[in-house]
Amino acid sequence: MVAHAQRILTVTHDEPDDEAAARPRRPRLRFGLALVGTVVAAELLARVLGPFLPPPNAGLPAELDRQLERIEARREPIDTFIVGASELAVGVDPAALADGSDAVGAAHTVWLAGIGADTIGALARDVVLEREEPARLIVGLTSREANGADLFRAGRDGALLGSPAYRAMSGELGALDRLERAASQVSALVRDRDRLRRPLEIARHVVRNGTAEVPMLEIDEYGMHTDRLDIDRYAESPAHLEQERQAMAGYRLDVDALAELEVVLAAAQADGVEVVLVQLPVYERHYLALQPGLTERDAAFVTATEQLAERAGIRYLDARGELDWDDPTLWADVNHLNGNGTARLTDWLVDRLDAA
């Protein structure tokens, strides 16, 4: 009897029906292992690819970190902050301004390359007004900072203002941001995801044996942008000219960005900070030829900034209109001054500030 039962059991085990044979064994375990294995394999691949990944797309947050470090490193109290994009950062020498002006004690430049007027306003608010106690805020603009059709610029600005680094700086870091920061400490998939999103570029870098080094712009201890003071570097570069041409394509005055800047400047002025808005010079004969129809649109920008200053009740200085800038020895390219031009603009600004 027992032997018979054993034989039945044995047969049942040894000769399963076809359906049972076709069904995979331990499907949940196999599914789970494969899922976890895929994630782990991707993590390992991300680590292996690390040295070959292209530079981070979101370069502005890293640049902002460096700007904050520079301010931290200044031991003296800073009474004058100069805020803008690269045109202002290369155009005004903060050390020379402080040395030359009776009104200015210590000056420092806060800037990011290629940002728009709204982001300049955000920097003025979040980096300067909320964190420091300045007596004076100098903001400079060209029409390049108010092209509403420049979606590349808008995308970079949006990535900056939406980045965890920016939210951390402006004190708006949420629970998810903290979680993401913690995850980025342990996972290359999270840490490098800005760069992992571009498989074609990764492939190009692997083929060319590229490195992950991030090119950083040169900045001195006063925050000044210094690597465009050499005239030969950009003036003859077709790629650079093309970049400037693209930035002005389809020019549409970004009234919303200017309105956002106006809110910040008006609030600062109301809080007792002396706000100065500077119309920065451009190398007009080349700048206005970047795109057809730019002359009229650029003129509309100048009018809009004058009106902005009037509405906000802030001081408006027209460096572009008061001096003649049609001189190749002053320019590094179509909108960035070289060393000669910077000295000229800084001297003029010293005169204007001291004359007030």
Contacting residues toward another protein, per CB under 8 A: 24, 27-28, 30-39, 42, 149-152, 154-155, 158-159, 162, 176, 180, 189-190, 193-194, 196-201, 245-246, 249-250
> Is residue 37 within 8 Å of residue 31, measured between CB atoms?
no
Considering the complex, state which of residue 103 and residue 202 has its C-beta at the smaller distance from another protein: 202
Q: What is the DSSP string of 267-307?
A: HHHHTT-EEEEEE----HHHHTTSSTTHHHHHHHHHHHHHH
Q: Residue 171 — left, alpha, or beta (φ > 0 → left; ψ -120 to 50 → alpha)?
A: left
Nearer to another protein, 27 or 272 (CB): 27
Could you give the CA distance from residue 139 to residue 6 in angstroms, rounded to a whole number? 92
Residue count (the chain):
356
Instruction: Mark 259-290 as b/e (b = at least 16 C-beta within 10 Å).
Output: ebbbebbbbbbeeebbbbbbbbbbbeebbbeb
CB of 246 to another protein, least distance (A): 5
Separation between Cα atoms, residue 66 and residue 113, nearest integer Å: 13
In the complex, the smallest distance separating the C-beta of residue 42 from another protein, rounded to whole angstroms, is 4
Q: In the complex, what is the shortest distance from the CB of residue 50 to another protein, in angstroms, rounded to a whole number?
A: 14
Q: Which is nearer to another protein, 87 or 244 (CB)?
A: 244
Closest distance of CB 49 from another protein, Å:
12
| Closest separation in Å from C-beta 336 to another protein | 21
The end-to-end CA distance of the chain, in Å, is 115
